[in-house]
């Protein structure tokens, strides 16, 4: 069993201060270029959260073409947390609690948190839901915390066991793929697994450091000669893939290293490839935004200005962002809206995993 050592009392005191006003501290206040977007971004995110709250079902999940998808619902809950809202308090306290309860009830006997979903890649939903539970641990009331500790412990065991499966191709060892029994790896699934393990370790879970190190070795096996990162070792680079690798490196002890800076430079050079309506637009936006924010400086300022312009232009009157393109169309409007919020709210620094 995974052991937890969550500082609940300290967390409660800190969160009480945060939720009193739900104000947002900016991480890029020194940038005049980005500061001029502040009010527009605040209003945009408020409209997006109002949309998500409106469409949440009585069962706590957020609707998606993939039925009761735990990944989409977890991303939607994290969107509220990213603005500083917390479980059980404030305007969206009930929305967040209902979402958490849905995730807690969705764990299968084998430890997977997938619920009733038609997703072809259950590890995506599982890792995203594990990340959510780790991020809210210490924020919820005592009864939910007891349930959460049990569910989260089982969920982390699934992720660690999936990583330990022997991969016939040595360069794939240390990563993750669509299924918890997969014998190969890709950087996309690996990114979500890394985030969940890093978050859990930050929160006091006994996640072995070696698991993080092995994951980073796989990430580096995906690096290409020009500084970008491929979906799998030996493949070609892409923006979403490079953003995933950059964030993984930044959050796991490689901040500002040669590979991270190289990834940032690659993204700056190719950033126009992230086109609204593209097959992986929101996914790429999310990871590149998070990764470039971690690098800061010219990397964040250049990318953020481009991102703000596009997202403000395409937000719909109801507050949502349209689910256009391959992956977004399959995941639905709650997915595209939640990912949009998570990409644009990074400067608020509310979720622990996304802080510099």
Q: How many angstroms separate the CA atoms of 200 and 32, rounded?
A: 35
Q: Give the 3-state secondary structure of residue 229.
A: strand
Closest CA to 70 of 133, 118, 113, 120: 113
Q: How many angstroms separate the CA atoms of 213 and 217, rounded?
A: 6
Report CA torsion sign: 252, 257, 262, 265.
Answer: positive
Tokens 């290409």 sit at which residue?
224
Domains of the chain: 28-354 (1.50.10.20)
Closest CA to 94 of 137, 138, 141, 134: 141
Q: Give pTM, 2 decimals.
A: 0.91
Non-local CB neighbours of 108 within 8 Å, separated by 6+ positions: 114
CB 327 within 8 A of CB 280: yes
Alpha carbons within 13 A on the beta-carbon side of 340: 34
**Each residue's pLDDT expressed in tens, for the chain with a length of 356 residues:** 454 444 443 343 334 333 433 444 555 555 788 999 999 999 999 999 999 999 999 999 999 888 889 999 999 999 999 999 999 999 999 999 999 999 999 999 999 999 766 556 899 999 999 999 999 999 999 999 999 999 999 999 999 999 999 999 999 999 999 999 999 999 999 999 999 999 999 888 889 999 999 999 999 999 999 999 999 999 999 999 999 999 999 998 888 899 999 999 999 999 887 778 777 899 999 999 999 999 999 999 999 999 999 999 999 999 999 997 777 778 899 999 999 999 999 998 877 776 66
């Amino acid at each position: 069993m995974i052991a937890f050592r969550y500082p609940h009392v300290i967390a409660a005191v800190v969160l009480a201060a945060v939720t009193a006003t739900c104000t947002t501290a900016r991480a890029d206040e020194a940038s005049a270029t980005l500061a001029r977007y502040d009010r527009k971004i605040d209003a945009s995110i408020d409209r997006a959260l109002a949309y998500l709250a409106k469409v949440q079902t009585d069962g706590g999940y957020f609707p998606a073409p993939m039925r009761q998808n735990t990944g989409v619902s977890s991303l939607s809950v994290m969107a509220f947390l990213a603005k500083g809202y917390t479980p059980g308090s404030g305007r969206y306290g009930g929305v967040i609690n209902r979402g958490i309860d849905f995730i807690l009830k969705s764990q299968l006997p084998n430890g997977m948190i997938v619920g009733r979903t038609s997703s072809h890649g259950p590890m995506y939903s599982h890792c995203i839901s594990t990340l959510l539970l780790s991020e809210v641990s210490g924020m919820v009331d005592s009864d939910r915390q007891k349930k959460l500790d049990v569910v989260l412990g089982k969920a982390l065991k699934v992720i660690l066991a999936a990583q330990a499966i022997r991969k016939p191709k040595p360069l794939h060892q240390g990563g993750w793929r669509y299924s918890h029994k997969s014998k190969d790896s890709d950087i996309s699934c690996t990114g979500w697994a890394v985030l969940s393990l890093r978050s859990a370790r930050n929160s006091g879970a006994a996640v072995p450091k070696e698991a993080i190190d092995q994951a980073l070795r796989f990430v580096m096996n995906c690096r290409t000669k020009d500084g970008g990162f491929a979906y799998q070792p030996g493949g070609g680079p892409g923006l979403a893939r490079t953003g995933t690798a950059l964030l993984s490196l930044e959050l796991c002890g490689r901040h500002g290293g040669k590979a991270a800076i190289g990834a940032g430079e690659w993204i700056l050079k190719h950033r126009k490839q992230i086109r609204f309506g593209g097959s992986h637009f929101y996914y790429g936006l999310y990871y590149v935004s998070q990764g470039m924010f971690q690098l800061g400086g010219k990397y964040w300022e250049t990318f953020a200005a481009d991102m703000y312009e596009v997202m403000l232009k395409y937000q719909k009157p109801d507050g949502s962002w349209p689910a256009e393109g391959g992956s977004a169309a399959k995941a639905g409007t709650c997915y595209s809206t939640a990912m949009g919020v998570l990409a644009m709210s990074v400067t608020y620094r509310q979720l622990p995993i996304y802080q510099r």
